[in-house]
Amino acid sequence: MADTQKTATLTLDGKTFDLPIYSPTVGPDVIDIRKLYGQAGVFTYDPGFTSTAACDSAITFIDGDEGVLLHRGYTIGELAEKSHFLEVCYLLLYGALPTAKEMEDFEALVTRHTMVHEQMHKFFTGFRRDAHPMAIMVGVVGAMSAFYHDSIDIADAHQREVATIRLLAKMPTIAAMAYKYTIGQPMVYPRNDLDYASNFLHMCFSVPAEEYVVNPILARAMDRIFTLHADHEQNASTSTVRLASSSGANPFACIAAGIACLWGPAHGGANQACLEMLREIGTVDRIPEYIARAKDKNDPFRLMGFGHRVYKNFDPRATVMKQSADEVLELLGVDNNPTLQVAKELEKQALADPYFHDKKLFPNVDFYSGIILEAMGFPTAMFTPIFALSRTVGWISQWKEMIEDPAMKIGRPRQLYTGATERPYVNVEDR
């Protein structure tokens, strides 16, 4: 916790209460209200926690007004351009960029733990073939606690570390297995000779009947998608993981809770919604009609993938993701894919329209990641599982930070009660 040298004064019914103010390394000051109820007998009211800091953290910082996203002090643009996903994982988990030897050891450790317990394969046959991959992932990840008993004691530092590596290593395998199951193809085992992103693509798209060679451009684009979604401060799913963790739940259950929260269309389904919008537009000649609708205040339609709830200026992840999207589309082409044709033309027309510039409605990371995943051949149902795969390291980092904080307390939000006051029970025959 940062030091405090300032206080805020609350006046209530003629009484004053001094509240400490903490100053972070970056960002707005924070008023400490932990003792407010005990001293003044009142709660604060903040639905959605839009003005409430629920924890102190040294992992990720976002300044939405300025379009800044930092992981341990490094800008997301520089990390996505110069680094790779597993190096960013190391940074998020341990607080510093690894040395060459540390990176080599970490990569080897993750690679050696990508296989899942063989009996877990049977779990998949319990799901319908048309089950959503996210439904499968919630169940299978939660079930990991039934298989890996030696890494569920959160009070044991070694077990926490084992759980960390297992989750990071096995999540691509589980996501790929969920995908293969839903399309009726045989599941593919991971390969230790491939890097993290290439291994995921191999498990998703290879088949026993022929050799599959991972294209390095696609692998790099996949790695960037993982990197750009690795952590995003105290969002809904991360807060869910922290809240579940505060009860002492095992790490696999906590990550399963995060996956369940991410499944919501207001959170992890944004790039899927973007692709569904592009398919609704259908053809390039209809783009002006939909742009006009987006400008019409009386029309509920809005362009998905443009603007961002957090970033009021521009999404700092979008610049790098656009570069990858351009590379992938140049490699795979858009001539035979009407959805991608619409995406490229919509991007062009929207960026040239002063309305979108004035409103700062620029294409965000969901717009470009949706284009990339569509071009690679992933169905939209797999977009959110890939997001969950990417975000796992952020959830684990936040979980570890919380568990290792000696001041950790179980989460217990208060409420503004608006129900009935106490009343007598009436027997059923007298009602």
Domain assignment of residue 83, yes or no: yes
Number of domain units in the chain: 3
pLDDT at 358 over 90: no
- How many other C-beta atoms can be found within 10 angstroms of the C-beta atom of residue 90? 21
Using DSSP, state whether 238 is helix, strand or coil: helix
Q: Tell me the two tokens of residue 115.
A: 């296989």
pLDDT at residue 365, rounded to an integer: 87
Q: How many whole angstroms separate alpha carbon 372 and alpha carbon 340? A: 9
**Residue ranges in 209-364 assigned as alpha helix (H):** 216-228, 236-246, 251-262, 270-281, 287-295, 318-332, 338-351, 354-358
Query: Averaged over 284-313, what is the pLDDT?
Result: 89
43 is a domain residue? yes
**Same domain for 221 and 259:** yes
What H or E segment, with its residue span, contains residue 40?
helix 36-40
Range of the domain at 281: 269-376
Locate 267 and state its tokens. 């959170």
- Once rounded to an integer, what is the mean pLDDT over residues 294-305? 90
Phi, psi of 419, deg, nearest 5: -85, -170
Regarding whether 186 and 130 lie in a shared domain, the answer is yes
Which of 237, 264, 291 is the last residue in one of the domains? 264
Residue 272 to residues 183, 198, 231, 264: CA-CA distances in angstroms? 18, 22, 19, 11
Give the three-class secondary structure for 185.
Answer: coil
Higher pLDDT, 269 or 344: 344
In whole angstroms, give the CA distance from residue 28 to residue 284.
44
Q: Determine the pLDDT at residue 270.
A: 77
Strand partners for 31: 21
Q: What is the pLDDT of residue 1?
A: 56
364: nearest Cα among 304, 324, 294: 304
What was the pLDDT predicted at 366?
85
What percent of the chain is predicted at pLDDT more than 90?
79
Instruction: Kindly state the average pLDDT of the residues 413-428.
Output: 96
Q: Is a pLDDT exceeding 60 seen at residue 314?
A: yes
Q: Are 351 and 389 in contact (CB under 8 A)?
A: no
344 occurs within a structural domain: yes
| d(C-alpha 270, C-alpha 50), whole Å | 20
Same-domain status, 142 and 254:
yes
Confirm if 356 and 306 have CB atoms less than 8 A apart: yes
Is the pLDDT reported for residue 5 higher than 90? no
Question: Do 258 and 274 sit in the same domain of this protein?
Answer: no
**Claim to verify: residue 160 and residue 285 sit in the same structural domain:** no
Residue whose C-alpha is closest to residue 161's, from 105, 200, 118: 105
Instruction: Answer with the one of 218, 233, 264 that is the final residue of a domain.
Output: 264
Cα–Cα dist 9/224, whole Å: 46
133 close to 382: Cβ distance less than 8 angstroms? yes
pTM of the model: 0.92
Q: Is 308 a catalytic residue?
A: yes
**Same domain membership, residue 105 and residue 180:** yes
Residues 288, 148 share a domain: no
**Two structure tokens written together for 231:** 């952590």
Domain CATH number, residue 182: 1.10.580.10
- CATH number of the CATH domain containing 299: 1.10.230.10
Where among 376, 400, 418 does a domain terminate?
A: 376
Least confident of 210-214, 280-284, 308-312, 412-416: 308-312
Q: What average pLDDT does the segment 37-50 reach? A: 93
pLDDT at 136: 97
Active site residue 153: no
Q: Please, what is the angle between helix 338-351 and helix 365-376, to 10°?
A: 160
Annotated catalytic residue within 202, 229, 232, 308: 308
Under a CB-based contact definition with an 8 Å cutoff, are residues 248 and 154 in contact?
A: yes
Q: CA 256 to CA 260: how far, in whole Å?
A: 6
pLDDT category, 312, cuts 50, 70, 90? Answer: confident
In a domain, 362, yes or no: yes
Q: Tell me the mean pLDDT in the region 127-140.
A: 96
Compute the distance between CA of residue 105 and CA of residue 243 in angstroms, rounded to an integer: 32
CA distance 163 to 207: 30
pLDDT band at 233 (very low <50, low <70, confident <90, very high): very high
Looking at the domain assignment, is residue 181 inside a domain? Answer: yes
Among 195, 231, 315, 366, the active-site one is 366
Overall average pLDDT of the 309-335 stretch: 85
Quick one: 332 and 299 in the same domain? yes
pLDDT of residue 334: 75
Amino acid at 11: T
Element (H, E) at 21: strand 15-22
Residues 161 and 305 in one domain: no
| Same domain as 155, residue 36 | no
The reported pLDDT for the residue numbered 307 is 83
> Over the range 222-254, which residues count as b (16 or more CB within 10 Å of their CB) and which as e?
bbbbbbbbbbbbbbbbbbbbbbbbbeebbbbbb
Mean pLDDT over the full length of the chain? 93
Residue at 62 is within a domain: no
Instruction: Give 80-99 pLDDT, tens digit per residue.
Output: 999 999 999 999 999 999 99
The 3-state DSSP class for residue 207 equals: strand
User: Do 151 and 249 belong together in one domain?
Assistant: yes
DSSP labels, 345-403: HHHHHHHT-HHHHHTT--B-HHHHHHHHHHHHT--GGGHHHHHHHHHHHHHHHHHHHHH
Q: What's the rounded Cα separation, in Å, for the pair 237 and 234?
A: 8
Same domain for 91 and 38?
Answer: no
The reply to whether 88 falls in a domain is yes
Percentage of the chain with pLDDT > 70? 99
**Whole-angstrom distance, CA of residue 239 vs CA of residue 172:** 22
- Mean pLDDT lowest among 286-290, 341-345, 397-401: 341-345
58-71 per-position pLDDT tens digit: 999 999 888 899 99
